[in-house]
Amino acid sequence: MRVSERPLISAAAVAARVEALGCEMAGDYAGKRPLLLAVLRGASLFVADLARALPIELELDFIQARSYAGTRSTGSVALSRAEDLEVTGRHVIVVEDIVDTGRTAAALLERLHGLSPASLALCALLDKPSRRVVEVHPNYTGFSIDDHFVVGYGLDCDGLHRNLPAIHVMEA
Ligand code: IMP
């Protein structure tokens, strides 16, 4: 497989959308000091830009979730660090790179819900609604895309291509 020459979503379009998400979230969370909980490793670049687009007090933490091998979903989700997180009574915003089958986000939201946050929201840079297996509706979405396996801006294929500034499709 190779990376598409032309991006699906340009770096400029990503930057503009992240700024807009930041404005919207800043309005919703002003005075609430939310905890941005980014899902490693795919959301690391997105959350770095999103946090800087939010002109409000916030905290930032990370959680690890693994569900993919190559371009195939393995169907099971392993979470690490969930027990170390201090989310009780906090306004938590889970920041995901992409919601695909929805298994990762659903597992994470369920686990976090059990820790009694004051509120819980999901922000996904990308959403692939046609691939959904478990019902999950992000509160904030950067872009809805068709059923492509995409890389760049933090998203990888077997560890590679996270550093691409734009979102590209993996082509056969
Ligand atoms: P889900 O549990 O099937 O929703 O998958 C969520 C995780 O799978 C994401 O956080 C990504 O790490 C990975 N993933 C799903 N689709 C893609 C893709 O198109 N490119 C890269 N990673 C993906």
Could you tell me the residue ranges of all domains in the chain?
11-148
Residue with tokens 């830009």, as numbered in its chain: 49
Q: Which of 49, 97, 100, 127 is catalytic?
A: 100
* Residue range 43-75, pLDDT digits in tens: 999 999 999 999 999 999 999 987 655 555 555
127 is catalytic: no
Residue 78, C-beta contacts closer than 8 angstroms, at least 6 positions apart: 65, 66, 67
pTM: 0.94
Which of the listed residues 137, 151, 155 should we mutate to test ligand 1's pocket, taking the one with most ligand atoms within 8 A of CB?
A: 155
For the segment(s) 11-148, the CATH number from 3.40.50.2300, 3.40.50.2020, 3.40.50.800, 3.40.640.10 is: 3.40.50.2020
Q: Quick one: what percent of the chain has pLDDT higher than 70?
A: 92
CA distances from 104 to 2, 57, 101 (A): 26, 27, 8
What's the whole-number mean pLDDT along residues 77-84? 73
| Residue-level pLDDT at 71 | 56
26-38: average pLDDT:
97
Pair 79, 133: CB distance under 8 Å: no
Average pLDDT, the chain: 93
pLDDT at 68: 52
pLDDT in the model for residue 79: 75
> Is the beta carbon of 117 within 6 A of some atom in ligand 1?
no
Q: In the predicted model, is pLDDT for residue 166 greater than 70?
A: yes
Looking at residues 127-142, what average pLDDT do you find? 97
CB 107 within 8 Å of CB 99: no
